[in-house]
């Protein structure tokens, strides 16, 4: 019987020595984008992928789930260090940087995650005038301090729709969901997720958090508890999500709705979070854990840890 090592030699393929090497080998073969493997840190592997097309991220997600590798958004500061387990950093590059109106004369724009804030400002989104122009839309959406509108005011982000790749491989479309909504939910995953989120929004923890001026949780469940005159919007739940809930494939932004958030210093944000610890803070933490479990029960994406 011919040995595996001999077959590998004859076919020119090198057998992987461990799961991390197998993961890297398979991702290199599957992805059309740029893949770079870093040096091992205390026996733990890490790598970066700059996808060329959406299928690259889908392949990466599947392999991360199979090999127990974290899929982390690159370009943001994560709440906890990610050097204790294998991690694939995914950076949306220029091949995923589209930005165009949905139709002539429309105020709504289709935007991909690699689009830069400077490009959106040039297109007419003045809310980004005072933000660093080099930040990607993906990084902006994931950054809690850059998406820190007051509780019930997530509509000011201008975000009206989003497509998100979840940990189980499902791509779900999230958007407005009012009481008069008659459109059936598309797919089993969305049929499970949406009722659970609305159920969480009426929990006493959510009601207590909603009374605070600044939402004390990481994940913006207050998007389902908007100020009077505005409809709940599931896409806005992702504002400041830290890359913990899924991979945002594209969003629709409305330049007529978009408003800059009120200026607050880091010290102001920190003190408000500290004050919340005694009342709504614990409720916010409980809600975060529930939402994380709904979106990513297998922990394919990073766990947020503690932050302010």
* DSSP per-residue letters across 87-115: EEEE---GGG--EEESSTT-SEEEE-TT-
Q: Which fold has domain 97-295?
A: 3.30.465
**Nearest Cα residue to 197 out of 163, 235, 227:** 235
Q: Residue 258: its pLDDT value, please?
A: 87
Q: Rounded to an integer, what distance in angstroms lies between the CA atom of residue 25 and that of residue 69?
A: 14
Helices of type H across 90-182 = 117-123, 137-142
Query: Under CATH, which number does the domain 17-91 receive?
Result: 3.30.43.10
Q: Residue 227: its pLDDT value, please?
A: 95
Torsion angle, alpha carbons of 94, 95, 97, 100, to 10: 130
User: What is the gyration radius of the CA atoms in the chain, in angstroms?
Assistant: 21
Map residue 4 onto helix, strand or coil. Answer: helix
Residues in the chain, pLDDT under 70: 1-17, 79-80, 178-184, 262-281, 305-308
Compute how many other C-beta atoms are within 10 angstroms of the C-beta atom of residue 82: 17
**Pair 242, 146: CB distance under 8 Å:** no
Q: Rounded to an integer, what distance in angstroms lies between the CA atom of residue 276 and that of residue 79?
A: 18
Q: Residue 4: its pLDDT value, please?
A: 45
**Pair 276, 212: CB distance under 8 Å:** yes
Q: Rounded to an integer, what distance in angstroms lies between the CA atom of residue 260 and that of residue 148?
A: 10
Length of the chain: 308
**Nearest Cα residue to 189 out of 144, 155, 234, 222:** 234
Q: Residue 186: its pLDDT value, please?
A: 74
Map residue 164 onto helix, strand or coil. Answer: strand
Q: Rounded to an integer, what distance in angstroms lies between the CA atom of residue 81 and that of residue 262?
A: 29
Q: Rounded to an integer, what distance in angstroms lies between the CA atom of residue 52 and that of residue 147?
A: 27
**Pair 77, 307: CB distance under 8 Å:** no
- CA atoms within 13 A of residue 261's CA, in its CB half-sphere: 22
- CA atoms within 13 A of residue 232's CA, in its CB half-sphere: 19
Q: Give the DSSP letter of residue 283.
A: H
Distances (CA, A) of 171 to 49, 65, 90: 20, 15, 17
pTM of the model: 0.87
Q: Give the DSSP letter of residue 232.
A: -
Residue-range domain boundaries for the chain: 17-91, 97-295
Condensed to tens digits (0 to 9), the pLDDT of residues 21-51 reads 999 999 999 999 999 999 888 889 999 999 9
**Pair 107, 125: CB distance under 8 Å:** no
Q: Give the DSSP letter of residue 71.
A: E
């Amino acid at each position: 019987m011919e040995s595996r090592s001999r077959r590998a030699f004859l076919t020119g393929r090198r057998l992987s020595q461990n799961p991390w090497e197998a993961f890297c080998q398979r991702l290199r073969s599957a992805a059309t984008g740029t893949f770079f493997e870093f040096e091992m840190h205390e026996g733990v592997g890490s790598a970066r992928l700059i996808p060329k097309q959406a299928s690259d991220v889908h392949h990466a997600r599947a392999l991360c789930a199979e090999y127990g590798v974290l899929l982390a958004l690159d370009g943001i500061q994560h709440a906890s260090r990610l050097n204790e387990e294998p991690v694939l950093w995914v950076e949306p590059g220029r091949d995923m940087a589209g930005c165009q109106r949905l139709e002539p004369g429309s105020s709504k724009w289709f935007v991909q995650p690699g689009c830069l804030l400077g490009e959106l400002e040039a297109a007419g989104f003045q809310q980004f005038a005072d933000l660093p122009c080099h930040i990607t839309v993906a990084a902006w959406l994931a950054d809690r301090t850059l998406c820190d509108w007051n509780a019930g005011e997530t509509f000011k982000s201008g975000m009206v729709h989003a497509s998100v790749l979840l940990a189980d491989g499902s791509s779900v479309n999230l958007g407005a969901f009012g009481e008069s909504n008659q459109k059936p939910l598309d797919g089993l995953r969305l049929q499970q997720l949406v009722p659970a989120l609305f159920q969480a929004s009426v929990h006493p923890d959510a009601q207590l958090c909603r009374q605070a001026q600044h939402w004390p949780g990481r994940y913006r469940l207050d998007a389902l508890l908007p100020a009077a005159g505005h409809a709940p919007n599931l896409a806005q739940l992702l504002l400041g999500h830290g890359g913990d809930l899924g991979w945002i494939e594209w969003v629709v932004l409305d330049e007529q709705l978009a408003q800059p958030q009120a200026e607050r210093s880091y010290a102001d944000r920190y003190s408000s979070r500290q004050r919340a610890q005694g009342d709504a803070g614990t409720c916010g933490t409980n809600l975060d854990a529930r939402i994380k479990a709904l979106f990513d029960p297998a922990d394919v994406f990073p766990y947020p840890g503690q932050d302010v």
